[in-house]
Amino acid sequence: MTIDLVIFDCDGVLVDSEELSCRVHADALTLHGYAITSDQVHDRFLGRSAKQARFEIETELGRALPEAYTLHLKSEIDRVFGDMLQPMPHVNDALARLSQQLCVASSGTPTRIRSSLTTTGLLAHFEPHLFSAADVAQGKPAPDLFLHAAARMAVDPHRCLVIEDSIAGVTAGLAAGMTVLGFCGGSHCRPGHAKVLRALGAHAVFDDMSQLPELIEKYGGSRAREGLGR
């Protein structure tokens, strides 16, 4: 099977954001009446949309989170990401070697996806092909977002390959009928994470973006371009 489209998650795959995001979300939620740790945010909400997470939290609280929470959270993420967000090591070089179509399909908001890719210098690899959970009725682990991305890019799902780091993302990619590579190179990935993604059914697991062009070739991609930009 030839791979014509490579679909990337953003957070924890293209940008090393998940540890930062979990900490900021935990601090903001705790400040506004929902006590939770960074590790608990990681375990419960990693890879899922903010809308889904917020619905669960507000259901447990029995009330809506205040507008002050939304403003505080956005301000803190802007500040922390602006100061500390980095691209995943070797990802820029790996992207430049790929000959397939590329897009992003992320649980983040459209604004956050664009901001993160701009901050880390990766936007040019993907623009304008940025797809968000806001585009579909159900976010990951449902397959809707990946199927939406494939449809918008006019590629059969079986000719798509997904790069994902989360349980929800790997589950969604497999449910969409796509080849899925599990990525475990982010600072948020714990010991044993590769084993978890393999158990879910990821076709391969890797922890260094420099490995990506060869992996895509192995699973049906045309040969990556040696040292050439897209």
Residue 170 lies in a domain: yes
Which of 4, 37, 30 lies closest to 221 in space, CA to CA?
4
Question: Residue 134 sits in a domain of what CATH number?
Answer: 3.40.50.1000
Contact 184, 209 (CB under 8 A): no
Q: Tell me: the pLDDT tens digits for 161-200?
A: 999 999 999 999 999 999 999 999 988 888 899 999 999 9
Last residue of a domain, one of 66, 84, 102: 84
* Number of domains observed in the structure of the chain: 2
- Judged by DSSP in three states, 105 sits in strand
17 contact partners, CB below 8 Å, separation of at least 6: 10, 11, 81, 85, 116
Query: pLDDT tens-digit profile of 198-228?
Result: 999 999 999 999 999 999 999 886 544 433 3
CATH of the domain at 54: 1.10.150.240
Do 207 and 97 share a domain, yes or no?
Answer: yes
Among 4, 47, 8, 5, which residue's Cα sits nearest to residue 131? Answer: 8
Are both 124 and 142 inside the same structural domain? yes
Evaluate if residue 38 carries a pLDDT over 60: yes
